[in-house]
Amino acid sequence: MTLIAMAISVAYIYSSLTIFILKGNDFFWELATLIVIMLLGHWIEMKSVMGASKALDELVKLMPEVAHRINANGEMEDVLIKNLQSGDMVLIKTGEKIPIDGIVFEGNSSVNESMITGESVPVEKNENDEIIGGSINGEGLLKFKVTKVGDETFLSQVIKLVRDAQASRSNTQRLADTAAKWLFYIASVSGILTFTIWSILGKGLDFSIERAVTVIIISCPHALGLATPLVTAVSTSIGAKRGLLIRDRAAFENARKINTIVFDKTGTLTKGEFGITDIEEVTISKDKLLTIAYSVELNSEHPIARGIVEEGKKRELERLNVADYQNISGKGLKAKVEGKETMIVSPGYMKSEKIEFDETNYEKLAQQGKTVVFILEENKLLGYIALSDIVREEAKDAVETLKDMGVSSIMLTGDNSKVAAYVGEKVGIDKVIAEVLPKEKASKIKDLQAEGRIVGMTGDGINDAPSLAMADLGIAIGAGTDVAIETADVILVRSNPNDVVNIIKLSRATYRKMLQNLAWATGYNLIALPLAAGVLFNQGIIISPALGAVLMSLSTIIVAINARLIKID
């Protein structure tokens, strides 16, 4: 802007002097054209910048303005969101946006959280479940208690992270800023030299000033100055839309160099919840066996019970009549199912009661880290069900894609080696490091770095905090409402391992666009500056100040358009 101000001032002062004092040609037409073109270029430039920052506007628009608060008398009143306090009770009607973060205390419904988390499938919400402001309620009524207000809410934290990331300066941007500073000095000196040389060659004051002004205009470092910030703004917006929240720009920029991704197992490669993997029938059909287990386990809150119940609900199994339900400590469950005594017990109970079962098959399942429960009716074995922590379907795709990108994958877990080996084999992980205590994880990351690896660590951001901080890039996955994890450089809103791949792809695409923009902005000046100075004047090639302004604006627009073309697919 200093160069532009200098060029306009010199042209205006000289033109005014030619009217009142000096003899020569004025530049008023060129000056007016220059200003119009400059303003047009600025308008296009700022429109592009604003377009890159629209992610913030879209996030702000997610929030409704009014909430249905339930007062002490149980009556409903409409109040502004800003007037809600922590502990207030709020009603959400069918199809309405959830106004603020809270915990459900009455009702059940499916909630569309895709605008917040990027998860396309609606999430079932029941009592004691957390809900996020900005998501959309489905078919049911929900009553919830406000837990977070103002800057504490999930959406406010997301907006702050996006704004901070867009404002942060990467290493490449610092390089561009330094180059722009030197270009200013080069342009100023070049302008003075151009004026001096043409004056010595006897071309006249008006010609010499025109050349000097054109040099200053055409070498204005707008394109160079915008080469990186525009790419930063665009990449941050793309990341936010995909649920990739960048906290540290420098670490994110270096993600392109990562050659090793370390995954935590539970909650990252797996869902952190039990699911059925095998159903082995003995005297009845698989469906009947599962129906009996489902009916009994509906009364239990145990994680294994929840796995069986979820499978039963998924298959829409019949619920049998269950009576006299009781929990046998350390052994299992006992109940009467349609009048018959039924038990769901552990392998230990089977061995202590000397009930025969296929021990070879059981050992094979146990070796894979699976938990096996046996279903008995009147003390006779009906069959058994194996369960394990469910491996995410996306995990295998993510690991395969990483291999194609030249990035090796390692599992680092505190779980036992059998379970870890089974999950590792299932997803195709390159190396498994198991039975590692949380405090030892950071040292394992350090060991990998000592081997010359550039390491990205992916974990839940709580137990894995030391290793996230130690890694070259700390990635918190499945952040949910606890989005502000201080140790992570990047936060993934969705619990999807494929987003780890997207982070590396986005980093590489961002860096590539930065280099393209810097190459263009630098190369443009190398060619344009000598032409503006008039080195080809004798060959009949001359650039006017107005044409210089056109070329300068065009170079800026090219940089802006190129920045908007970042893609990670």
How high is the pLDDT of residue 374? 94
Tokens of 360: 């070879």
Flag whether pLDDT at 173 surpasses 70.
no
Task: Output 330 or 481, whichever has higher pLDDT.
Answer: 330
How many domains does the structure of the chain reveal?
4
Q: Which whole number is the average pLDDT over 363-388?
A: 89
Is the distance from CB of 384 to CB of 280 less than 8 angstroms?
yes
- The verdict on 367 and 516 lying in the same domain is no
The domain that holds 136 is classified in CATH as: 2.70.150.10
pLDDT band at 521 (very low <50, low <70, confident <90, very high): confident
- The verdict on 400 and 453 lying in the same domain is yes
How high is the pLDDT of residue 176? 65
Q: Is residue 153 part of a domain?
A: no
Is the distance from CB of 461 to CB of 488 less than 8 angstroms?
yes
How high is the pLDDT of residue 481? 38
- The model carries a pTM of 0.67
Strand partners, 376: 343, 381
Q: Which residue has the tokens 């503006």?
A: 532
For residues 319 and 298, what is the distance between their CA atoms, to the nearest angstrom? 9
For residues 232 and 106, what is the distance between their CA atoms, to the nearest angstrom? 44
Flag whether pLDDT at 277 surpasses 70.
yes
Strand partners, 102: 131, 146
How high is the pLDDT of residue 120? 46
Residue 264 catalytic?
A: yes
What are the tens digits of pLDDT across the range 447-463?
A: 999 999 999 998 875 55
For residues 186 and 192, what is the distance between their CA atoms, to the nearest angstrom? 10
pLDDT band at 169 (very low <50, low <70, confident <90, very high): low
Q: Is residue 7 part of a domain?
A: yes
Phi, psi of 314 (to 5 degrees): -60, -40
How high is the pLDDT of residue 462? 54
Which of 375, 391, 407 is the endpoint of a domain? Answer: 391
Q: Is residue 60 part of a domain?
A: no
Burial group, residue 339, by CB count within 10 angstroms (0-12, 13-18, 19+): exposed
| Full domain range(s) for residue 492 | 244-270+393-506
CB atoms < 10 A from the CB of 239, how many?
A: 27
CB within 8 A of 398, min separation 6: which ones?
A: 497, 498, 500, 501
- The verdict on 185 and 224 lying in the same domain is yes
How high is the pLDDT of residue 419? 81
Q: How large a percentage of the chain has pLDDT more than 90? A: 18
Closest CA to 95 of 108, 79, 107, 112: 112
Q: Is residue 239 part of a domain?
A: no
Query: How much of the chain is helix, strand and coil, in % rounded to 5?
Result: 50, 20, 30
Task: Output 271 or 361, whichever has higher pLDDT.
Answer: 361
230-239, 300-309, 355-364, range with greatest mean pLDDT: 355-364
Tokens of 355: 């009930």
How high is the pLDDT of residue 386? 92
Flag whether pLDDT at 400 surpasses 90.
yes
Tokens of 466: 């030391």
Q: Is residue 410 part of a domain?
A: yes
How high is the pLDDT of residue 24? 63
How high is the pLDDT of residue 484? 35
- The verdict on 128 and 199 lying in the same domain is no
The Cα-based distances of 427 to 268, 287, 396 in angstroms read: 12, 28, 4
- The verdict on 404 and 457 lying in the same domain is yes
pLDDT band at 235 (very low <50, low <70, confident <90, very high): confident
How high is the pLDDT of residue 72? 83
**Full 3-state SS string of 350-387:** HHHCCCCCCHHHHHHHHHCCCEEEEEEECCEEEEEEEE
Q: Is residue 152 part of a domain?
A: no
- The verdict on 74 and 29 lying in the same domain is no
Buried b (16+ CB within 10 A) or exposed e, 447-472: ebeeeebbbbbbbbbeebbbbbebbb
pLDDT band at 322 (very low <50, low <70, confident <90, very high): confident
- The verdict on 367 and 385 lying in the same domain is yes
For residues 43 and 494, what is the distance between their CA atoms, to the nearest angstrom? 37
Q: Is residue 128 part of a domain?
A: yes
Task: Output 314 or 545, whichever has higher pLDDT.
Answer: 314
The domain that holds 439 is classified in CATH as: 3.40.50.1000
Q: Which whole number is the average pLDDT over 379-395?
A: 88
The mean pLDDT of the chain is 81
Q: Which whole number is the average pLDDT over 394-417?
A: 90
Burial group, residue 319, by CB count within 10 angstroms (0-12, 13-18, 19+): exposed
Q: Is 87 left (phi over 0), alpha (psi -120 to 50) or beta?
A: left
- The verdict on 409 and 265 lying in the same domain is yes
- The verdict on 313 and 354 lying in the same domain is yes
How high is the pLDDT of residue 121? 55
Q: What is the DSSP letter of 255?
A: G
Q: Is residue 120 part of a domain?
A: yes
Is the distance from CB of 483 to CB of 289 less than 8 angstroms?
no
- The verdict on 423 and 558 lying in the same domain is no
Q: Which whole number is the average pLDDT over 142-157?
A: 82
- The verdict on 50 and 166 lying in the same domain is yes
Flag whether pLDDT at 118 surpasses 50.
no
For residues 295 and 311, what is the distance between their CA atoms, to the nearest angstrom? 12
How high is the pLDDT of residue 62? 60
**Full 3-state SS string of 93-122:** CCCCECCCCEEEEEECEEEECHHHHCCCCC
Catalytic residue among 88, 101, 264, 489: 264
For residues 142 and 128, what is the distance between their CA atoms, to the nearest angstrom? 11
How big is the chain by its Cα radius of gyration, in Å? 33
Give, to the nearest 10 degrees, the angle between helix 171-200 and helix 222-241: 160
Is the distance from CB of 446 to CB of 470 less than 8 angstroms?
yes
The Cα-based distances of 534 to 28, 34, 99, 413 in angstroms read: 21, 19, 63, 67
Q: Which whole number is the average pLDDT over 42-70?
A: 66
- The verdict on 30 and 172 lying in the same domain is yes
